[in-house]
């Protein structure tokens, strides 16, 4: 694509050749790669599997989980074959006038230890797999065919979760005039805002390799695309230079959670009156305040941080970035009432921040999981001294113009917080100073799970807003010790569950394991260091100065299958409020009842228990109303109300003595005047008799990237969901789309993701439909056939060739 005159941006998606292994001559233009696999970037080589406990078994003590001695850990990084070396190669043509241009290659992320070559020449390297970076190719390119080669080396025991493998984020080739806006070269700040005006400061770094007069014209456009201000400056440059401009905008439209209004600063770089570069900088106008007494304020209004922590993988798609998949995640989180994300524990894909700007979701952006003290043998501590400053500056320079970003997190549960001899105080100040040098407008933070050590060592005191991991019972102690510090839960709860699994008796569980390798969805289970959601809710409600919380985690993720760290097969987390393939667990509705402005009324568990007839089967209700009455086959089980003084039913309504009988389970919610507000009904399901297909959209863009996500539900002959069904379902597609992945949310399944079949897990599974690259659009039909009965069901979508607006 062309981004204005002079700047040409080409996204390098197709035509890549890929091969596992280390071929010494693979950088050479003459190397024979004819037998290599053809892949499309972004690409995650490991997500196709196979799953195997030997892929990532590690003998280590995870002290964060309470281990005191090393033991074999399985599934820690998902049991997928991500470790090893590999090469990517791409042939690309450049025009005859390329010798008069500057050429840059930009990588949003390569996992990991990448080395880049152009026409056989070594260009440069960047080891941190989560960092975005760019290299100058100008000395190495030529007119006509050029060969790019990227070497990747994923080292063993380098991560505590599934990292992905290869060129898993986007790559762009950018050609430029000799004078242009530098890479990540603009910065917009809004230091003064009131109801009638906003001061906008704009800074632009201009790359220039010869003596010339440079003119910078910047036009500010409102969210509707109208020009509302413009300013022009000129300088005589003999080398790189900086322009600083300032305007006042009248009646600004503020960026907020409910109305995420975005402006744009369009910069035209001119030499001798001719435009040689155009560069757009989207930004938002908003104010941030972190008060130790009054919580977090956005644009002068208090906003509770209803947040989740999120790893970067996209479930069955692996680590390969897909914009539609991220948008689906954010849509589900917003429906739950979530308004904030902590990117755990690394810089995210640019697409996440672009979409967070669009959706109105606040972001705490995190840089590191390790500093100098190791958690993993080949973790970031091996890079810290040489690369920490480069990586942190790269993260902030890339993302500082996003209005969604509210804080920079310098690290998560770093081991420097534990002992004075680790010099945590000095390291924290080093990183804090870098962050404020790049962006003085946002505070720094960190996630500390040893608050006493972090305070005593000076680590917590060297960030602006300390974050406390798993401290809901101790917020007031921290406040008493440092009343000048704002308080928030940077990581909370860590409740664990498997979607649709319920176990009896129902009780609080700490580190409970079962032969099934599953965990109950009554949402009372957690590791020993964690708690159920109710405790975290109370920590915020009982301490009104608390900014809010970030729950571990929004979605399940590949790897870290606590508490089944030594059992196999168990290859993904149980922490998610939503399962690995995007199906909400019961807990989703508990959070929705507290966070969202929705009429929530959800019953737990399902009501199909043929082996439990006459046995006590407790029922919980997650609801936005205070009082609910429960009925079994029309017989009232009594009204129950939430009670502020009782932790056991402060946030959920419970009936502990219900006897199971097949038929109907009904809940009736009452408003404060005693009127019926809403009803919900669950019916005992019969034998599986059919399939119900539901897509998250009616059409997809025929661009080879867009996706639709189709949820398949096993139903009986009356259309009731069969909540324990595990039928095998096979899929076929007609039209310009293909099955990119399948999933069912079962943490113990080692069936591959990249096939055309899936067993239902507790009645559901999901198909990821992706538009076919190069297709011209048309009708898409997904057919699902259930074994053993052979029932079929179909759903129709449209692949449209109209660009992003068709989404």
Question: Catalytic residues, which ones?
Answer: 413, 491
Distance, CA of 52 to CA of 49 (rounded, Å): 8
Tokens (6 digits) for 334: 């917003």
User: Which residues does residue 200 pair with via DSSP β-bridges, in sequence order?
Assistant: 247
Helix (H, G, I), strand (E, B) or coil at 477: helix
Q: DSSP assignment, residue 404?
A: T
The values of phi and psi at residue 752, to 5°, are -65, 150
- In sequence order, the 6+-apart residues with CB closer than 8 A to the CB of 399 are 347, 350, 353, 365, 405
Helix (H, G, I), strand (E, B) or coil at 417: helix
Distance, CA of 463 to CA of 135 (rounded, Å): 32
Distance, CA of 655 to CA of 427 (rounded, Å): 52
Q: Is the distance from CB of 614 to CB of 360 less than 8 angstroms? A: no
Q: Is the distance from CB of 44 to CB of 312 less than 8 angstroms? A: no
State how far Cα 792 lies from the chain centre: 34
Distance, CA of 737 to CA of 797 (rounded, Å): 10
Q: Is the distance from CB of 798 to CB of 791 less than 8 angstroms? A: no
- In sequence order, the 6+-apart residues with CB closer than 8 A to the CB of 672 are 626
Strands of 326-361, DSSP E: 340-343
Distance, CA of 305 to CA of 404 (rounded, Å): 13
Least Cα distance to 110 among 160, 161, 168, 157 occurs for: 168
Least Cα distance to 665 among 679, 688, 683, 677 occurs for: 683
Distance, CA of 412 to CA of 154 (rounded, Å): 22
Q: Is the distance from CB of 527 to CB of 562 less than 8 angstroms? A: yes
**Which secondary structure element, helix H or strand E, spans residue 398, and what is its range?**
helix 384-399
The full length of the chain comes to: 807
The values of phi and psi at residue 192, to 5°, are -130, 120
Distance, CA of 341 to CA of 370 (rounded, Å): 20
């Amino acid at each position: 694509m062309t981004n204005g005159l002079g700047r040409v941006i080409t996204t390098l998606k197709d035509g890549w050749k890929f091969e596992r292994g280390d071929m010494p001559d693979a950088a050479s233009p003459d190397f024979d790669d004819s037998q290599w696999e053809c892949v499309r970037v972004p690409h995650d080589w490991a997500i196709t599997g196979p799953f195997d406990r030997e892929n990532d078994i590690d003998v280590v003590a995870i002290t964060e989980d309470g281990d005191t001695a090393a033991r074999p850990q399985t599934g820690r990084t998902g049991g997928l074959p991500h470790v090893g070396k590999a090469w990517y190669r791409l042939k690309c043509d450049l025009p005859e006038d390329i010798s008069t241009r500057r050429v840059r290659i930009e990588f949003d992320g390569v996992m990991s230890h990448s080395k880049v070559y152009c026409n056989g020449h070594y260009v440069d390297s960047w080891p941190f797999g989560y960092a975005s970076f760019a290299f100058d190719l100008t000395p190495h390119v030529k007119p006509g065919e050029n060969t790019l080669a990227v070497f990747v080396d994923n080292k063993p025991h380098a991560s505590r979760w599934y990292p992905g493998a290869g060129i898993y984020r986007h790559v762009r080739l950018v050609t430029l005039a000799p004078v242009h806006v530098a890479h990540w070269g603009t910065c917009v700040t809004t230091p003064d805002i009131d109801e009638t005006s906003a001061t906008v400061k704009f800074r632009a770094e201009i790359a220039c390799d010869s003596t010339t007069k440079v003119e910078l014209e910047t036009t500010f456009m409102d969210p509707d695309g109208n020009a509302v201000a413009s300013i022009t400056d000129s300088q005589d440059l003999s080398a790189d230079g900086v322009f600083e401009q300032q305007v006042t905008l009248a009646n600004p439209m503020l960026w907020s959670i409910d109305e995420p209004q975005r402006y744009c600063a369009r910069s035209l770089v001119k030499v001798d009156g001719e435009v040689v570069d155009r560069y757009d900088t989207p930004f938002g106008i908003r104010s941030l305040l972190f008060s130790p007494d009054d919580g977090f304020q956005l644009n002068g209004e208090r906003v509770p941080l209803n947040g989740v922590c999120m790893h970067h993988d996209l479930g069955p798609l692996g680590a390969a970035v897909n914009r539609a998949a991220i948008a689906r995640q954010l849509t589900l989180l917003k429906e739950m009432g979530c308004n904030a994300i902590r990117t755990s524990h690394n810089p995210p894909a640019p697409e996440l921040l672009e979409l967070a700007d669009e959706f109105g979701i606040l972001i705490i952006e995190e840089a590191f999981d390790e500093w100098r003290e190791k958690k993993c043998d080949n973790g970031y501590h091996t890079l810290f001294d040489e690369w920490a400053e480069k990586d942190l500056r790269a993260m902030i320079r890339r993302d500082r113009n996003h209005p969604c970003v509210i804080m920079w997190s310098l690290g998560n549960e770093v081991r420097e917080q534990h002992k004075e001899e680790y010099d945590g105080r000095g390291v924290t100040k080093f990183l804090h100073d870098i962050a404020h040098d790049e962006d003085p407008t946002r505070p720094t933070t960190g996630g500390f799970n040893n608050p006493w050590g972090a305070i005593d060592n000076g680590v917590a005191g060297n960030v602006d807003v300390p974050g406390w991991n798993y401290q809901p019972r101790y917020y007031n102690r921290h406040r008493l010790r440092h009343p000048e510090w704002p308080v928030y839960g940077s990581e909370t709860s860590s409740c664990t569950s498997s979607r649709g699994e319920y176990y009896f008796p129902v009780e609080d569980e700490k580190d409970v394991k079962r032969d099934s390798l599953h965990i109950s969805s009554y949402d009372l289970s957690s590791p020993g260091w964690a708690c159920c959601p109710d405790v975290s809710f109370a920590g915020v409600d009982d301490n009104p100065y608390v900014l809010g919380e970030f729950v571990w985690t929004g979605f399940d993720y590949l790897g870290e299958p606590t508490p089944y760290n030594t059992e196999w097969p168990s290859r993904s987390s149980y922490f998610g409020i939503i399962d690995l393939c995007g199906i909400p667990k019961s807990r989703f509705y508990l959070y929705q009842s507290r966070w969202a402005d929705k009429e929530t009324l959800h019953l737990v568990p399902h009501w199909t228990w043929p082996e439990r007839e006459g046995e006590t089967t407790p029922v919980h209700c997650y609801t936005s109303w205070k009082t609910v009455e429960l009925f079994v086959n029309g017989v009232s089980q009594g009204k129950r109300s939430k009670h502020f003084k009782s932790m056991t039913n402060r946030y959920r309504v419970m009936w502990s003595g219900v006897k199971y009988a097949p038929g109907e389970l009904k809940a009736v919610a009452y408003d404060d005047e005693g009127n019926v507000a809403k009803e919900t009904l669950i019916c005992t399901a019969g034998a599986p008799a059919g399939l119900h297909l539901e897509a998250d959209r009616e059409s997809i863009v025929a661009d080879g990237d867009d996706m639709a996500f189709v949820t398949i539900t096993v139903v009986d002959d009356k259309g009731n969901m069969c909540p324990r069904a595990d039928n095998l379902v096979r899929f076929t597609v007609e039209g310009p789309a293909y099955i990119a992945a399948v999933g069912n949310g079962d943490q113990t399944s080692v069936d591959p993701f990249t096939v055309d079949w899936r067993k239902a897990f507790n009645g559901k599974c999901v198909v990821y439909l992706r538009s076919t690259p190069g297709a011209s659009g048309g009708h898409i039909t997904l057919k699902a056939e259930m074994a053993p009965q052979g029932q079929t069901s179909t759903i129709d979508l449209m692949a449209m060739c109209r660009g992003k607006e068709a989404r």
